[in-house]
Chains A and B, each alone.
Chain A
Amino acid sequence: MITREFQSLHSDVNRRDFLKVLGGGLLVCLSPVPTIAQESGRAANRHELPTEISAWIHIDADGQVRVFTGKVEVGQNIRTSLAQAVAEELRVPFESITMVMGDTDLVPWDMGTFGSRTTPTMSPQLRKMAIAARELLVETAARRWNVDASKLIAGSGKVTSPDGKKFITYANLTRGEDLVKSVSGNPTLTPATEWKVAGTAMPKVSGRDFVTGKHEFPSDLARPGMLFGSVLRPESYNAKLDSMDTSAAEKMPGVRVVRDGDFTGVVADSAFVAHQALGAIKAKWSSPTQPSNQGLFDYLKANLEGKSDAEHQSGSVIDSFASADVKLESRYTIEYIAHTPLEPRAAVAEWNDGKLTVWTGTQRPFGVQEELMQAFKLSPKQVRVIQPDMGSGYGGKHTGEAAIEAARLARATGKPVKVVWTREEEFTWAYFRPAGLVEVKSAAHRDGILVSWEFHNYNSGPAAIGTPYEVPNQLIQFHPSKSPLRQGSYRGLAATFNHFARECQMDEMAHALKMDPLAFRLKNISDQRLKAVVQAAAEKFGWGASKSSLERGFGIACGTDKGGYVATCAEVAIDPSTQKVKVLRAVQAWECGAIINPDGLRNQVQGALVQGLGGALFERILFSNGRIENPRLSKYRVPRFSDTPQIDVVLIDRKDLPSAGAGETGIVGIAPAIGNAIFAASGTRLRHMPLTPEDNVIKS
């Protein structure tokens, strides 16, 4: 168990001492370069680790390689893909790598796992360290054999002599040694064309534990003597407690009620009793009047907050719009949606001699550590957050609510306490993907060349707000508003809505120009990478092979964000009598540079599309007066087997380009592709997400 072995890593030791703690061997650390420093690597004033490093690799006397990173595994498969990258550069078998992730006592500080940053930043960092480790091993072998290091070959966990007759394993080289190296330069990475381990479809690490139920998710963990906690919630947002009677709960055997300022919770020796006790608390609240879905978009536009600088500005949108041949003005809207990770927030907290340890499902273990430090006035050394590979997050688990609640209850009772949120709590007390509206004015010459693009996004967010099309006159602006609901990160952020608005508007322009939507796009794209995915998707889909009819529609959309390029085609069937829509088929072409794991990538791209179907067609949060009205899966519809179309994913492997992340941007294409397909068939332009919230029926 790594956790026990390295318990004392958190002392202020220098690198050599640090290696002693690890039991000798070889240690390579990476000193962050300034651009990386913002993301990984501890800030100078509070570094805990031997030096300012952003990650490290250790090879022990058995040749086992351990890679330490603050990134976390949430289903996006980086435990596998990062290990592939390290194995590649270190020239060791994939199996000899263990990734140690998301444990604040063991790994270097990291901002968190989001924004598709792991592959473009952490992966090259780890590869650089692996190269340094390999070089150190080769130099050590050269010294032992008294030969020129440049003649030796590293491969399969060994260093071999030029004639291939003599070899020494990494384990032999590191045994009894204290080899330390710090990397800060820019060694040449192995080009993707020469990859042997990276670039292959490696199956998920420890996949077997998932099919046997052995893997312990955060909500599965138990500690000796652990109690179960549950937390009292207000009847609505911003409600004030008027009175509370906890006597019935307190009389229940084994139950303890914990009050701490505004916080009220219960603990019991079973989760069932804890929930019963919570139900026995009688609380009276008074709630202020609050906004609801009714009038939401006007509210957002009327309640601006903060500055709205232009994200892009060129030429004059006013003049170019006024003088253009074909022009359109539209308004698009999007509702709040919930991440609904299948595993809700969960945490187990334990206090030992003033040190707090919390196991919890989060995308930001160091962020949660910070929250706990603040909540309990602790130093970083007094808080350890451990993130077991969790039941996903999709941008929804950046925060540490359950961790703080469990820690509060554990402190009050002196026992480890587990808190697992109910589905209803997860729907109500987490945060949402922002609702918003977009107003867009676009114009083109009669020949189909875009001349003017004015785009205003209210509240939803600035991600991918720019247009990838060539337009000489642009004004693109994000306007933050006061959100009536707590909102935050979500897979792809606002890229989904900005793509929806832009790609539907492009479709409208194409129809207004009497042009084929594909041809219109291609005419205005000069980015060759975008062009390549659009063409690949269209070709696979058979774009243009059949014409849309009243019962069958074809739509296309494309875009780029975070280094990923995507094009999506959709085919929908519409029942003429009921106006019910069914998505029959989708093709998604994807390119994000050199592919590290084609199987994992395919899985991500497909999964993002399926998740995107929900927000496209029917997911929405209903609320009024500070209450969520559909906080359950029976009332909040998520995509199921029967909603899933036939999906073809076309991957373009650009071995000449650095790898970008792929967890998010695959979600952006499906909503506009469906919206455009619905228009092609029915002539009804749906400008609201979700498109068909009521039973998949088209309503204009």
Chain B
Amino acid sequence: MSKFLLHINGKSYPIEAQDDESLLSVLRNHLSLTGTKYGCGEGQCGACTVLMDGAATRSCQIPAAAAADAKIMTIEGLEQSGRLTPVQEAFLQEGAFQCGYCTSGMIMAASALLHDNHAPTDEQIVTAMNGNVCRCGTYPRILAAIRRASSASAGGAR
């Protein structure tokens, strides 16, 4: 059992967790940040994707204690005073979901991608997003949403 601080969405949370408890488990079960989802627990579906110092990270694959020094961003942290990010907005515009269970992870992965590459090609989007599963099969719409968000960012809407 160790004690540490997690820095999530601009706030610091004192945590007491076992060394091998995942960040996902801590987010969901200790902090009630349930926007981050469990889908597989083995790094295969991306439902649990968060940003760690800006990088898309599978929160099921990293012990919470190992995230203690990082700036963590979850889906709950994107909206700022009622304003959605261009990626969130684009998902809404394109209706890029059905059940919406994959959506948090998709949006976090897409946000990281567009942060690093403002105008990705379709091929780059597919490569970057291929670890994220949408069982409802809305991939074409998610692709369209990421394209839309990339042109929105390029147009200075950010």
Contacts and interface: CB of A to CB of B under 8 A. Distances in A.
A603 B99 contact: no
A211 B88 contact: yes
B37 A343 contact: yes
Given A208-B92, A211-B84, A647-B140, A342 B133 contact: yes
Interface in A215-250: 215-217, 219-220, 222, 228
A607 B42 contact: no
B37 A342 contact: yes
B137 A609 contact: yes
B98 A607 contact: yes
A210 B78 CA distance: 13
Contacts of A212: 35, 75-76, 78-79, 84, 88
A607 B138 contact: yes
Interface in B24-55: 25, 28-30, 32-42, 44-45, 47
Interface residues of B, number: 58
Given A75-B136, A210-B103, A213-B104, A640 B97 contact: no
B5 interface: no
A639 interface: yes
B24 to A, nearest CB: 10
A420 B150 CA distance: 36
A642 interface: yes
Interface in B70-116: 74-76, 78-79, 84, 88, 91-92, 95, 97-104, 107
A187 B123 CA distance: 53
Contact of B98 (A77, A217, A640): A77
B21 A272 contact: yes
B18 interface: yes
Contacts of B101: 75, 217, 341-343, 390-392
A204 B91 contact: no
Contacts of B45: 342, 633
B79 to A, nearest CB: 5
Nearest to A214: B35
A211 B137 contact: no
Contacts, number: 174
Contacts of B102: 342
B129 interface: yes
Contacts of A607: 98, 136-138
A639 B130 CA distance: 10
A608 B45 CA distance: 19
A606 interface: yes
Given A222-B32, A270-B25, A633-B44, A341 B140 contact: no
Which of B18, B39, B142 has the most A CB atoms < 10 Å from its CB?
Answer: B39
Nearest to A667: B137
Contact of A633 (B37, B133, B141): B133
Nearest to A610: B137
B9 to A, nearest CB: 11
Contacts of A608: 137
A103 interface: no
Contacts of A77: 98
Given A210-B100, A212-B79, A603-B98, A272 B140 contact: no
A683 to B, nearest CB: 30
B12 to A, nearest CB: 20
A125 interface: no
A611 B134 CA distance: 9
B126 interface: yes
Interface in A369-393: 389-392
B98 A392 contact: yes
Which of A203, A211, A228, A647 has the most B CB atoms < 10 Å from its CB?
Answer: A211
Nearest to B131: A640
A74 interface: yes
A599 B101 CA distance: 19
B139 interface: yes
B62 interface: no
A632 B99 contact: no
Contacts of B3: none
Contacts of A45: none
Given A211-B88, A212-B79, A603 B107 contact: no
A607 B139 CA distance: 8
A326 interface: no
Which of A204, A216, A272, A633 has the most B CB atoms < 10 Å from its CB?
Answer: A272
Contacts of A644: 137, 139-140
A75 B135 CA distance: 11
Contacts of A272: 17-18, 21-22, 25, 29
Contact of B100 (A215, A273, A341): A215
A259 B79 CA distance: 45
A641 B129 contact: yes
B150 to A, nearest CB: 15
A341 B130 CA distance: 18
A82 to B, nearest CB: 16
B74 A211 contact: no
Contacts of B75: 212-213
A207 B44 contact: no
A483 interface: no
Interface in B112-130: 125-127, 129-130
A422 interface: yes
B143 interface: yes
Contacts of B29: 228, 270-272
A423 B40 contact: yes
Contacts of B133: 342, 633, 638, 640
A76 B98 contact: yes
Contact of B130 (A271, A273, A641): A641
Interface string A386-404: 0001111010000000000
Contacts of A528: none
Contacts of A641: 125-126, 129-130, 132, 139, 142-143
A174 interface: no
B50 to A, nearest CB: 11
Contacts of A389: 99-100
A209 to B, nearest CB: 8
Nearest to A609: B137
A271 B21 CA distance: 10
A84 interface: no
Contacts of A394: 135
A342 B99 contact: yes
A599 B25 contact: no
Of all A-B residue pairs in the complex, the 9 with the closest CB atoms, nearest first, are: A213-B35, A610-B137, A75-B99, A391-B101, A210-B100, A213-B75, A75-B98, A633-B44, A220-B34
9 contacts: A270-B30, A272-B17, A341-B101, A342-B45, A391-B37, A610-B138, A611-B135, A640-B133, A642-B127
Interface of B: 17-18, 21-22, 25, 28-30, 32-42, 44-45, 47, 74-76, 78-79, 84, 88, 91-92, 95, 97-104, 107, 125-127, 129-130, 132-143
Given A211-B97, A213-B104, 5 more contacts: A207-B95, A211-B92, A211-B107, A270-B25, A611-B135
